Amino acid sequence: MGLDFTVIPKYLDVVLLGCVWTIAITVVAAILSFFGGIIFAVIALYAPWIVRLPFRAFAWLFMGTPLLLQLFLIYFGLVQVGIDLPAFVAGVIGLGLHFAVYNSELIQTAILAVDKGQMEAARTMGLSRGQALRKVVVPQAVRDVIPPIGNNMIALLKDSALVSVIGVSELTLTAQLAIGRTYRPFEFYVLVAVFYYIINLGMEAVLRRIERRVQAAR
């Protein structure tokens, strides 16, 4: 059949739209996974055992199973419970939840690594445990953990391609639509790969700037 890249220009605008969706999904899920990670970390470390144990079991389950499987669960599962979410929302929740769990592991380690002396100093000044955590420990832990979480966000970008399997019109699915019309999978998948690579580079640049600013604030 051979290759023919001239089919691309006609569908470029559609693919670019898919690009925008991919970026949107990635950004929203990333934000979710960041704050979700902090919340999960605090729960995993400081909640009463009756909350902590089932939570740990859930986290363990989510880290031991593939993202795609989790996406199926969320998308089809919520319908079962009566919540009919559009695929887009299910995809964002799935991605956000998955990475929130991984981020929470990183944040837990970072919180525990923050010097014990910090907590002691805060308590000595009269802060309650909750206040000390909120104002002293967690902010420092979050600062320490930005680089590895940044890596998780890059992974999130790449994994966002999976939501195409549950029908979300992002970059990958858009390419498939174009392929459906032109029967040229190689050309469009390579095009899509290039777009992902470029978005990836952009994300890395942004993350590096954020890292630098966080470092400067020390």
Rounded Cα distance, 75 and 84, in Å: 8
Identified binder of other proteins from the candidate list 9, 64, 82, 117, rule CB under 8 A: 64
Identified binder of other proteins from the candidate list 158, 208, 209, 213, rule CB under 8 A: 158
Q: Does 76 bind other proteins (CB under 8 A)?
A: yes
Q: Does 124 bind other proteins (CB under 8 A)?
A: no
Identified binder of other proteins from the candidate list 59, 67, 92, 178, rule CB under 8 A: 67
Q: Does 196 bind other proteins (CB under 8 A)?
A: yes
Identified binder of other proteins from the candidate list 16, 128, 181, 200, rule CB under 8 A: 200
Amino acid symbol at 150: G
Rounded Cα distance, 12 and 192, in Å: 10
Specify the residue, 137 or 161, whose C-beta has the smaller distance to other proteins. Answer: 161
Specify the residue, 42 or 75, whose C-beta has the smaller distance to other proteins. Answer: 75
Buried b vs exposed e over 89-125: b needs ≥16 C-beta within 10 Å? bbbbbbbbbbbbbbbbbbbbebbeebeeeebeebeee
Q: Are 153 and 30 in contact (CB under 8 A)?
A: yes
HSE-up (13 A, CA, CB side) for residue 129: 4
Binding site for other proteins (CB under 8 A): 1-3, 61, 64-70, 72-73, 76-77, 80, 158-162, 164-165, 172, 179, 184-187, 189-190, 192-193, 196-197, 200-201
